[in-house]
Every structure is written in C-alpha cells, then in structure tokens.
C-alpha cells in the first residue's frame, strides 16, 4: 500500500505550451488538468485479479506448462524434443491466477494451449488444434531467415541488400527481420500447405536502414522449405 500512497502525492502539471490561451477560457487555465504521476512500485511478485503474470510467475508457470508429456510427444522449430514456446496470457475473469501458455508442436503441426493454475503450479487443461497460427516467436523468425539465406533465394536477398546499400553482404545481422504468419491464398500455386503448415512472410529492413521488399518469399517452417509466390 505504501507505493500506492506515495503514488498520488506526486502531481504532474500540464505542460505550459499545452495550456489554453487566455481570454474567454481563462477560467480553464485556472483549472490545470493534472493526473497523478506515481513512481512505479517494485516489480510485483504476484498479480491481483487479471493483472499480467509477473516475471517470476511466467518462469514458474511456463515450466509447468511444458509438461513432461508434452516434451515427450512434441517437436520445436529446430526439430528437437519439446514444443516451440510462443506466448502466454492471463485468463480474463478467471477464478484465480489462471494463465494460458501457447506452443507450436511441429511434429503434429498443431497449436497447443496449456492452461496453468499458476498458484497451484499445475496444468488444468490441455487443447490442440490444426490450422491455427499465432504470431511467430523470435526463434522462428530467426530460423526463417536462416532458411532463406541457405536457400538459392538467399543469393537474391544478398544482391538486394547490395543494391539498396551499395555494400557487400557481410552477415545476417545486416537485416532486421519481423515476420507474420502466412496462409495460402486461393491463387497460390506454391506454399499451398501454408495454414496447415506453419509459414511466415518476412518484413525486413536493413539494420538501421530502409525496408527491403521480401514479400514474395514464403518460408514454410513445418516443411523447412522456401518458395516464391506471386
């Protein structure tokens, strides 16, 4: 409670440049619109209600979610035992600190949802489905770029880099890459498995530089293949 109390006594004032001009609205100027400006308290150990999981809660619950049974049957993006960790969320309006942890099982090509009772430290629900894709993890994005650079398409990417920057390619850290999951479009002849497979399309920019258009390259992480679309 100490943090909350100290929070409200620090009051920020509206910046002078944003104050109303004098005149008919002078009354408004006499009522500065201010909000409290609390110093953040120490990182909480546990949350209340629908508060996000804290760092320690995520660490604990993620380990619980990746159950021995899941590790035994699933494969991650590298092909190793275990499922690819994607994300977590607090379950809204749950009866306690319940959270969902999402993984991708590359062996079955299924999205896995593990419901964890964070306080009790146990999995209370487990669900799987095909043809469902959540955003790619950092490791999946990095894997996708590796696959592109190892593919014949990679020569085109390196050439594009040189065309944009005037410099020769010196390593994959020269590109800053994001990715979104890709689903096959009706007109696609290549990448037709995407959706059932976990595929990504890259949004890439030269590190500290301009974007480069890699839109026609689709990486099928399930099949570990790279194709061009359009």
Partner 1 sequence: MTPRLTYLTGAAALLLAVTAAAPVAHAAPSAPPAPAAPCNADSLVKETLPNGTTWQMCWRIHQLHGLVLEKVFVSSTRYPQPVQVLGAIAVAQLNVPYDNGATEYNDITDYGFGGEDLQTLGGDDCKGGSARVGSDNAPEPKRRAALCVSAEPSGLAYRLENPEENKPPLAKQGHDLVLKAISKVGWYEYITEYRFGDNGRITARLGATGDLSPSDYTTSDKGWPIGKGARSYSSNHYHSAFWRVDFNIAGAGNEKIEQYDTKRAGSGAGSAIFKTTRTAVGKEGSFTKANRRWWRVVSPTSKNKDGHPRSYQLETGANDPYEAHPETTPDVTFTQQRACEQFATGNADPQCRTSKTILDYARNAETMTNPIMWVRVGFHHVPRDEDQSPMPVHWQGFDLTPRDFTEMNTLTPPERGSVNGQPSDTP
- Stretch 132-151 residues interacting with partner 1 (CB under 8 A): 132-135, 137-138
Query: How is residue 51 written in tokens?
Result: 């508060």
Enumerate residues 6+ apart whose C-beta is below 8 A from 87: 101, 102, 134, 135, 137
Q: Is 124 in the site for partner 1 (CB under 8 A)?
A: no
By the rule CB under 8 A, 160 interacts with partner 1? no
CA nearest to 34, candidates 48, 44, 51, 19: 19
Stretch that binds partner 1, among 65-73, 75-83, 111-119, 168-176 (CB under 8 A): 111-119
CB atoms within 10 A of CB 42: 6
Both tokens of residue 145?
């770029």
Radius of gyration of the CA atoms of the chain, in A: 24
Of 78, 107, 159, 211, the one binding partner 1 (CB under 8 A) is 211
With binding defined as CB under 8 A, does residue 83 bind partner 1? no
Based on the shown chain and the rule CB under 8 A, indicate whether residue 23 belongs to the binding site for partner 1.
Answer: no
Of 51, 53, 49, 80, which is closest to residue 64 (Cα–Cα)?
53
Q: Which residue lies nearer to partner 1 by CB, 92 or 208?
A: 92
Q: Which stretch binds partner 1 (CB under 8 A): 22-30, 67-75, 149-157, 218-226?
A: 22-30
Q: Based on CB atoms, which residue is closest to partner 1, 150 or 185?
A: 185
Sign of CA dihedral 10, 3, 90, 65: positive
Q: How far apart are CA 230 and CA 211, in angstroms?
A: 20
- Residue 14 interacts with partner 1 (CB under 8 A)? yes
Q: How far is the CB of 35 from partner 1 (least distance, A)?
A: 5
Residues 41-80 that bind partner 1 (CB under 8 A): 41, 43-44, 47-55, 58
Size, binding site for partner 1 by CB under 8 A: 74
Q: Which of 23, 129, 163, 189 binds partner 1 (CB under 8 A)?
A: 129
**Cα–Cα dist 145/226, whole Å:** 10
Q: Does 195 bind partner 1 (CB under 8 A)?
A: no
């Amino acid at each position: 409670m100490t943090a909350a109390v100290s929070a409200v006594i620090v009051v920020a004032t509206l910046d002078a440049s944003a104050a109303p001009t004098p005149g008919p609205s002078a009354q408004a100027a006499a009522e500065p619109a201010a909000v409290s400006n609390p110093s953040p308290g120490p990182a909480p150990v546990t949350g209340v209600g629908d508060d996000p999981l804290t760092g320690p809660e995520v660490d604990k619950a993620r380990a619980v979610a990746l159950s021995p049974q899941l590790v035994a049957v699933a494969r991650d993006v590298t092909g190793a035992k275990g499922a690819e960790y994607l994300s977590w969320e607090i379950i809204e309006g749950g009866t306690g600190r319940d959270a969902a942890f999402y993984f991708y099982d590359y062996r079955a090509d299924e999205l896995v949802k593990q419901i964890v009772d964070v306080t009790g430290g146990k999995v209370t629900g487990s669900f799987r489905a095909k043809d469902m894709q959540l955003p790619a993890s950092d490791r999946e994005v990095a894997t996708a770029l590796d696959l592109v650079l190892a593919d014949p398409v990679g020569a085109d990417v390196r050439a594009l880099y040189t065309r944009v920057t005037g410099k020769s390619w010196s390593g994959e850290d020269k590109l800053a890459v994001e990715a979104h999951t890709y689903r096959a479009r009706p007109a696609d002849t290549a990448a037709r498995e995407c959706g059932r497979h976990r595929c990504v399309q890259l949004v890439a920019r030269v590190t500290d530089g301009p974007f480069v258009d890699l839109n026609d390259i689709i990486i099928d992480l399930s099949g570990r293949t790279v194709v061009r679309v359009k």
